[in-house]
A and B are shown apart, each in its own frame.
Chain A
């Protein structure tokens, strides 16, 4: 499964990825955690943050709200993003490992229902989340 990064704040998923300062990174093999560590972002610059995740060899990012620009920049670098997630870190990690994040029970408020102003679907959201 590789490396998965969780953007965190106060042991919960950080509300906004674009300004989040901390990352919790887990390394998994056969559905089990084989290593974990905490890392920091030093800047709010989108490209620098994407580069940081790339050099950390992160394959998937689980985060809260994220701007379209950041989401697209991550996708360009081949990093899969599961966004608009809310909840305690442990709870989200368990949901991620059991592949139940897409159920939507840990989605941020208002993110499982109709869209505002009929806008396009968020490019990073899990397809089955809607």
Chain B
């Protein structure tokens, strides 16, 4: 027996076929023209396509994965010779159902070392995905992730808000995810099959905004050669999201008020009144109450839009969500940039936790996206963060004096504990491991106030 035979036992074609038929992973191979030349039993079962139908066809038309067109793993492997292991995606079955999969690729060579095609193995992840969704369900509503008590309270009421037809006002600082919340309300509503149409009212001058909202008829003004439907018409049967509502001019506020009151509108240059069939969600980062008092925002319109209110907390008040959000953004950009970032180092995460996040979740997402440019694989380290976050001198949001830093951390910890315990100071003190009088003293010193209805209210009849 030769040495080679001892280490590489010969496997006959029949044996290979038997192995391929017995495994639970789908396997197919393609020739250099991307046509399938073998398709095992598990591939038949997962895709629902018989071997007879698959062989000889283009792999993309059999496999029908979200990766085929723009991000084909096998094409990449055939190009650089490197196998890809465990890439996630989905395929579409003949009933339009998505089957989540993970796949791996390899180049096939003949006995002379010539590339003759490629092989793809894939695994059905449906059961794992179902379990994962069940586990994540508690911290997810739509695409919004949070474990913060403040957001959990919102999560409890969002399904009811979504189910009602009422106008919703979403308030929150810039970057807190107002549009994402609006999309979530739409997705959970009975109108979810209809369109979600968004318009930033602050981005357009008055005349353009009016024609964008209501549309126009041919001949309404110079250049209007044909009818153009407005956003109210395009959102028919769905949801119209008007962002930066606080920036709308007084004249347009009057027109909006009429639409909200009468549920109908007239396109510019039109003579016919059209009924509206939209659910309105508006958002602003400005204080509408203040704008109403100063006369910049009509009081009657304010009461029309402020039927149901969702206040999104800034990220600095839900810092416990930072690890979860970072994880979500890493998964997102791994998918979008075809990168393989594994996570974030502990010290980098600590730095993110200490930041004040004036730009909120959007700022955090931008920082992770930026990190992907300089770190396409491995772990995100301090060096991958922008200078303004890591250089001590330029950071306005991070205190320069040690005492200030301690006060800020204490304040954050106390606020979080209070929120987590329904503003019960006794329970918060217990959680923080301090006597309640110490907590009272610290709260007074740090200027932390409780909402009108706090933990004590429960005990008071």
Binding site for B on A (CB under 8 A): 9, 12, 14-16, 18-21, 47, 50-51, 54-55, 64-69, 71-73, 76-77, 83-84, 86, 108-111, 113, 115-117, 119-124
Contact = CB atoms under 8 A, between A and B. Distances in A.
A66 B92 contact: yes
B332 to A, nearest CB: 12
Interface in B55-101: 57-58, 60-66, 68-70, 92-98
27 contacts: A15-B61, A15-B63, A15-B65, A16-B65, A16-B69, A19-B66, A19-B69, A19-B70, A47-B238, A50-B195, A65-B92, A65-B96, A66-B92, A67-B98, A68-B95, A68-B97, A69-B96, A71-B96, A73-B195, A110-B50, A110-B53, A110-B62, A113-B50, A115-B48, A115-B94, A117-B48, A119-B97
Interface in B186-221: 193-197
Listed from nearest, the 10 A-B pairs whose CB atoms lie closest are: A110-B49, A116-B48, A68-B96, A65-B64, A65-B92, A15-B60, A109-B53, A119-B95, A86-B61, A15-B68
B48 A64 contact: no
B237 interface: yes
A108 B95 contact: no
A50 B49 CA distance: 29
Given A16-B64, A76-B237, A77-B195, A67 B94 contact: no
B62 A55 contact: no
A117 B68 CA distance: 25
B47 interface: yes
B95 A116 contact: yes
A51 B234 contact: yes
A117 B97 CA distance: 12
Q: Which of B54, B94, B193 has the most CB of A within 10 A?
A: B94
Contact of A120 (B54, B95, B196, B197): B95
A122 B93 CA distance: 10
Given A109-B49, A110-B49, A116 B195 contact: no
Contacts of B70: 19, 21
A110 B50 CA distance: 7
Nearest to A69: B96
A69 B92 CA distance: 12
A9 B69 contact: yes
Contact of A111 (B58, B66, B94, B193): B94
A120 B53 CA distance: 21
A72 B94 contact: no
Contacts of A69: 96
A122 B196 CA distance: 24
Contact of B47 (A55, A71, A110): A110
Given A16-B65, A108-B64, A109-B62, A122 B234 contact: no
A83 B64 CA distance: 12
B95 A115 contact: yes
A56 B97 CA distance: 27
B98 to A, nearest CB: 6
B64 A47 contact: no
Contacts of B49: 109-110
B94 A21 contact: no
A4 to B, nearest CB: 20
A20 B54 contact: no
Contacts of B94: 84, 108, 110-111, 115-116, 122
Nearest to B67: A19
Given A47-B195, A64-B64, A86-B57, 18 more contacts: A15-B58, A15-B61, A15-B64, A15-B65, A16-B64, A18-B66, A20-B69, A65-B64, A67-B96, A72-B193, A76-B193, A77-B195, A83-B96, A109-B57, A110-B49, A110-B50, A110-B94, A119-B93
B91 to A, nearest CB: 8
A86 B56 CA distance: 13
Nearest to B53: A109
Nearest to B46: A116
